[in-house]
Every structure is written in structure tokens, then in C-alpha cells.
Amino acid sequence: MNPVINKSTFGSITVDGVNYDHDIIITLKGKVKKRKKKLSKAVYGTSHTISREEADYVYQEGSEGIIVGSGQYGVAELSKEATGFFQQKDCKVKLLPTPEAIQEWNRAEGRWIGLFHITC
């Protein structure tokens, strides 16, 4: 069972009652980890464009897909290379503003990965 995301506001996200003040990844095993934004910043100078390198870091074999919270206002996006990487892996991508992505995450069944950007 996936951990429940309780809420998110600009700059924070609460998962199973634990508050995080940074972007997070939720693994297939339900572990919450800090997002490695530097992988995308090194390529694009920003964490608002998710790089192929970050996609490779986040992806886990056996996942049905990834739910990406693109920020409170939906600013973050996948690069063309990251999109191509997920397509090669036959990994569905649901890219939604973080409030909508949280609802999608909490409804999801199966083996999903989560990446949630908590600001813009």
C-alpha cells in the first residue's frame, strides 16, 4: 500500500503525518526520499525541468508509472529526454500540478513511483 499524502502547501508536503520541507520521491516500497534536484540543475540550471539523468535516478524496474507533482502552480515539466526515457521503459507518466497529483497518488492502485515538487 502506498503511503498517504495528507496535504501540501507552498514549500511543504505531509506524508503519513510526517511533514517535509523539500521536494520528495516516493519509491515502489513506499519510502520517502529527498529529490535530487541537482541532477536536473546541472543540465538545465533549474529544477523545473526534469532531466534524463534525474528520470534515470527516479525510475524503478517493475513500476507501472510515475506520478509527477509539477508544483503548486504546475511550473515543473519533463524534458524531452526524460519523456523519451520513460517511454522506452514503458513507464506511464501522469504530470499534474502537485495538489492534483496528490489526489491521483492517493487514488492510485498498483506499483507507482511519485515525484513531488512542492513550490511553484
Comparing C-alpha atoms, which of 62, 83, 68, 79 is closest to residue 114?
68
What is the overall mean pLDDT for the chain? 97
Give, for 24, the enclosing helix (H) or strand (E).
strand 24-26
> What tens digit of pLDDT does each residue of 73-96 get?
999 999 999 999 999 999 999 999
Q: Looking at the predicted structure, is the pLDDT value of residue 1 above 80?
A: no
Residue type, 86: F
* Whole-model pTM over 0.85: yes
**What domains can you pick out in the chain, each with its CATH number?**
5-117 (3.40.1230.10)
Task: Choose among 40, 101, 47: nearest CA to 69.
Answer: 101
pLDDT at 2: 85
Which among 13, 3, 4 has a CA at the least distance from the CA of 117?
A: 13
* Cβ neighbour number for residue 88 with a 10 Å cutoff: 9
Model confidence over 3-33: pLDDT tens digits? 999 999 999 999 999 999 999 999 999 999 9
Rounded distance between C-alpha atoms, residue 106 and residue 73, angstroms:
19
In three-state form (DSSP H/G/I as H, E/B as E, the rest C), the secondary structure along 42-109 is HHHCCCCEECHHHHHHHCCCCCCEEEEEECCCCCCEECHHHHHHHHHCCCEEEEECHHHHHHHHHHCC
